Amino acid sequence: MNESIYPYTFEPVFRNYIWGGRTLETMFGRNLPPGTVAESWEISGHPSSPTAVSNGPLAGQTLPELLELLGEALVGRRSQAMLQRGKFPLLVKLLDANRQLSVQVHPDDDYAARREDGELGKTEMWYVLYAKPGAYLIYGLQRNVTPQSFRQALKAGQLETCLHQLPVKAGDAVFIPSGSVHAIMDGIVIAEIQQNSDTTYRVYDWNRVGADGKPRPLHIEKALDVINFDMVEPGPFNPQPLPAVDGVERALISGCSYFNVERMSLAEGATFNGHTDGSTFEIWGCIEGETRLTWAGQPVAMPAIRFALVPATLGDFAIEANTAATMLRAYVPE
């Protein structure tokens, strides 16, 4: 038995931005550092905020170090292109929006490779953990918005007239492909699963200033290069039911070439039997209730909200529900 192959949990890395708060502590019981916390990077191989293993023989190793040590045994055959780049494919975050985020857009891989020194583009999905009554996201554009009218609204400081508002509630999933104009608004907590990239073009910041009293930098020309003006008034991802097993309901809640994300609802006492066969790793997150991930008789506690990384060559494992629970499962599709 390879002692380096087991389900990994990680110490989160916290980031502070002007729009954050303390909701991850007050609502979800997280132990936070003092001050405002906007993001908790849960599983990250990005060089700006790599997360370190918190359990087992490899505790203290960062995810990039884990990738260098294990290679394909960690990520699987489907991630060869990312392995050649020395990058773990996905990144998982929690975001606490006490104020609205800036309006942003992300480039695709080709544009980022040309303009961002070989960095990846960014396609992502959001799973809404909490939304205050009346909460909404900015997602896509209003009808009849053109690059010209978009630029004019920017100059006038009135971009709101171009933006599509999408009402959301807890449990909604929203797929954000590269090129999508988007913003998380206030009173929302989100779990985000995305490409391993931090490439963001801020196009509008609500005419506000940063902590230093100055407007935050914008990236308008690059944003206009990559915005998909055909994304008009999109809706949330329509869950696609998947085969169920006793006590476990499944649905695909986002899918693309970079990742599939499933939601699983488990009744108390239910078990989902999983298996990784070397083709892809899996990321599991408990977002409601309490579960445990067991492998070779060894349990990994999975309370809400916690994520674990199952290596591609782990083999058999099980998700066991101590209480009624909701899980997210992410992996690289064929």
Name residue 285's amino acid. G
Per-residue confidence (pLDDT) for residue 89, from 0 to 100: 98
Taking the C-alpha atoms of residue 242 and residue 125, their distance in angstroms, rounded to an integer, is 19
Burial 203-222 (b: 16+ CB within 10 A, else e): bbbeeeeeeeeeeeebbeeb
Which of 306, 135, 165 is closest to 233 using CA atoms? Answer: 165
* Residues 239 and 147 sit within 8 Å (Cβ to Cβ): no
Out of 78, 202, 263, 329, the active site residue is: 202
| pTM, rounded to two decimals | 0.96
Give 88's contacts (C-beta < 8 A, 6+ positions apart): 45, 63, 64, 67, 74, 75, 82, 196
| List of E strands, 72-187 | 90-97, 103-105, 124-131, 136-141, 163-167, 173-176, 182-184
Examine the residue annotation and report whether 202 is marked as an active-site residue of this protein.
Answer: yes
Per-residue confidence (pLDDT) for residue 1, from 0 to 100: 63
SS in 3 state form for 225-254?
HHCCCCCECCCCCCCEEEEEECCEEEEEEE
Taking the C-alpha atoms of residue 47 and residue 52, their distance in angstroms, rounded to an integer, is 12
Query: What count of other Cβ atoms lies within 10 Å of the Cβ of residue 265?
Result: 18
Judged on CB neighbours under 10 Å (0-12, 13-18, 19+), 243 is: exposed
* DSSP code string of 291-313: EEEEETTEEEEEESSEEEEE-TT
* Residues 269 and 324 sit within 8 Å (Cβ to Cβ): no
Domains of the chain: 10-226 (2.60.120.10), 240-331 (2.60.120.10)
Give 13's contacts (C-beta < 8 A, 6+ positions apart): 40, 41, 44, 49, 50, 51
Each of the 334 residues of the chain gets a pLDDT tens digit; together they read 689 999 999 999 999 999 999 999 999 999 999 999 999 999 999 999 999 999 999 999 999 999 999 999 999 999 999 999 999 999 999 999 999 999 999 999 999 999 999 899 999 999 999 999 999 999 999 999 999 999 999 999 899 999 999 999 999 999 999 999 999 999 999 999 999 999 999 999 998 887 788 888 999 999 999 999 999 999 999 999 999 989 999 999 999 999 999 999 999 999 999 999 999 999 999 999 999 999 998 899 999 999 999 999 999 999 999 999 999 999 999 9
Which of 46, 47, 63, 80 is closest to 9 using CA atoms? Answer: 63
